[in-house]
Chain A
Amino acid sequence: MADPQDVKDAEPAPAPTERRPLPGAEPAALTTGRVRDARVRPAPKVPSWVLKIIMAVTGTVFALFVLVHMIGNLKIFMDPEHLNTYAYWLRTAFEPLLPYEGLLWIMRIVLLVCLVAHIAAAVMISSRARASRGTHKRRGMTNLRSFAARNMLVTGTVLLAFIIFHLLDLTLGKAVAPSGYQHIENGQAYAYENVVASFSRWPVAAFYMFALLVLFVHLAHGLWTVVQDLGATGRRTRAVGLFLAGAIPLAILLGNILIPIAVLTGVVK
């Protein structure tokens, strides 16, 4: 057994080093284990759960829109007149209850409102996420699922750029539109001719195909997030949600990507 005298003779422990005070920290952090009582943020005016529901609902509107849009696009494989008649019908649908282009303008306004709300909520949510995560970012996530999740802002920005390009190309017929773009006149739409003219330029067709892949990634993770945001906790509901979150984006991808491929390979001309 050690003699107690030995302990006394041992060198005195070095004095603890001066500790700098942390702003907002209780001085006794090292003894109580409590560093601060201050929250990361005050209670937000618009709570994050509301923002997430806004994103989920507006995102679902977009998903349903692109699904219907894709089904309409498939008419290109029937015959030119079929697609052109459909394009003109979209303008005269529900006349005389709605005015000319009434249905289109209702959809445009709804989609625009959804777009503004979706982007605003995304910006607020990601800034809150950064603040809550703090300075040390999560690293080491390598799987495919987290790739989609991590890149939602990136894929979303690409999609926004694509939407602008697509509207200029095939709706407004401006700037990036093919040189032979034909506007609707005398009850005749030229949707078929315009699509073929546009996709005959291979860089444009490539951009459409790239945007469709980006849409798939964005939508697959987005729709799976809708399942969480709208509170689906049941085992079966979640299984159905997971299936739809894969099946709907896949259908949209395949249905649409066939069109530039068909134009480039000369199947549709």
Chain B
Amino acid sequence: MRLTLEVWRQTDPADAGRFETHVVDDATPEMSVVELLDRLNESLVEDGREPFAFESDCREGICGACGVTVDDRPHGPQPNTPSCHQRLSSWTDGQTVRIEPLRSGAYPVVRDLVVDRSALDRIVQAGGHVAIQAGTAPDADTTPVDHALAEMALDFAACIGCGACVAACPNGAAHLFVGSKLTHLASLPGGREERGKRARAMIAEMEQDFGPCSSFGECADVCPAGIPLAAIAAVNRERMRVVLRGKND
């Protein structure tokens, strides 16, 4: 399979950046987008040229390190699939694949396809964790947790923090990311005690880098962890709850 690649080249954060065109002759449909970049980089190195910098770690869709915009869509054309699982069977012989970094005002490009996603880390540092002394693991069922609730919390805890939701949003909003954290941490006994304090801190931090949500729904279409769109509503629900309740829990 012969594919033409337009790949974003940017030497450093100050560089304006541009697309470079390369051809990969020996692509196969079962290769992933990340493997396509590997193949391209191999041939560039063989020719003594600079390979493209990109992030990738587990390559099984659970780490959230990889993430590039493929043909204008974060991660790629397959919905709810990380870049490392986007197969080239989405394209046919002779087509062009355009690969650029995840785009957001909050994600400055470090180099080529690598962006700085520390704005997401700052939100987690602000309150996306359990900060109380939880002690040692309790015996099973000393604190009963309803099975349906536990499953719901796990659905929202599935977020791998790749940040594609922000890149998919025309507003650069991080509501799917923040909403998923707020929901799962508020559902279970460990995180419940700081529910209000957490919502206030995380949303205040979010507002400095990320945009407002206009319900485009694009985030939930690209999310490789399949976080439900309901997460975006959790942001305002949790924030209003603090106002009405006026307490830290």
| A interface, CB within 8 angstroms of B | 17, 19-22, 25, 29-30, 33-37, 39-44, 47-49, 51-53, 125, 128-129, 131-141, 145-146, 149-150, 152, 221, 224-225, 227-235, 238
Q: How many angstroms from the CA of A47 to the CA of B202 in the assembled complex?
A: 13
Residues of the B chain whose Cβ atoms lie less than 8 Å from the Cβ of A135: 105
- Assuming the contacts A29-B110, A224-B215, asked whether A19 and B207 have C-beta atoms less than 8 A apart, the reply is no
Q: How many residues of B contact A (CB 8 A)?
A: 56
Assess whether B105 is in contact with A134, with CB atoms less than 8 Å apart: yes
Assess whether A149 is in contact with B169, with CB atoms less than 8 Å apart: no
The minimal Cβ–Cβ distance linking B62 to chain A, given in whole angstroms, is: 20
The residue of chain B having its C-beta at the shortest distance from the C-beta of A50 within the complex is B239
Residues of the B chain whose Cβ atoms lie less than 8 Å from the Cβ of A229: 213, 233, 236
The minimal Cβ–Cβ distance linking A128 to chain B, given in whole angstroms, is: 6
- Assuming the contacts A17-B11, A29-B110, A44-B207, asked whether A149 and B215 have C-beta atoms less than 8 A apart, the reply is yes
User: Which of B118, B211, B216, B239 is A146 in contact with, Cβ under 8 Å?
Assistant: B216
| B interface, CB within 8 angstroms of A | 11-15, 71-73, 100, 103-111, 114, 116, 118-119, 167-173, 183, 203-204, 207-218, 230-241
Residues of the B chain whose Cβ atoms lie less than 8 Å from the Cβ of A35: 13, 108-110, 116
Residues of the B chain whose Cβ atoms lie less than 8 Å from the Cβ of A37: 118
Residues of the B chain whose Cβ atoms lie less than 8 Å from the Cβ of A149: 170, 214-217
The minimal Cβ–Cβ distance linking A63 to chain B, given in whole angstroms, is: 15
Assess whether B235 is in contact with A49, with CB atoms less than 8 Å apart: yes
Given contacts A29-B116, A129-B173, A149-B170, 15 further A-B contacts (CB under 8 A): A19-B11, A20-B15, A22-B12, A43-B204, A43-B208, A47-B204, A48-B207, A53-B240, A133-B169, A134-B105, A134-B106, A146-B217, A221-B215, A230-B233, A230-B240
Residues of the A chain whose Cβ atoms lie less than 8 Å from the Cβ of B119: 39
